[in-house]
Amino acid sequence: MEAPGAVRVTVHSNVPWRLRVAVPAPEWSAAVAVRVGRGEYRPVTEAGVVVTTGRPGVHELLIDYRVDRGRWEAEPVLRVPLVYWIEG
């Protein structure tokens, strides 16, 4: 399952920054990948993965995500919790 443009984030920063994404439970670690813009998909883990970095200023980010339904294929609705945060 792929969701292009699923999340929009606006970053306002006066220092260099990075956007991290994590899953709150280990069972999601192998199933979820995210990307920003036309970048490559990166697998998301509990520890989090840096999906993009930026310089000071205002930045509009469009985030896509992809889920390998695998063992959840029989589920009619799949809710995947993701945690986003900015470090700077």
CA distance 81 to 63: 15
User: How many folded domains does the chain comprise?
Assistant: 1
Task: Encode the chain (88 residues) as per-residue pLDDT tens digits.
Answer: 777 778 898 999 999 999 999 998 888 787 889 999 888 899 999 999 999 999 999 999 999 988 887 877 887 887 888 899 999 8
Q: Using a CB cutoff of 8 Å and minimum separation of 24, what contacts does 76-79 make?
A: 78/1
pLDDT at 14: 95
What is the C-alpha radius of gyration for the chain, rounded to an integer number of angstroms? Answer: 14
Cα distances (Å, whole numbers) of residue 67 to 17, 70, 82: 26, 9, 12
What's this model's pTM, rounded to 2 decimal places? 0.80
DSSP 71: G
Which structural domain, as residue segments, surrounds residue 25?
A: 2-87
Strand partners, 48: none
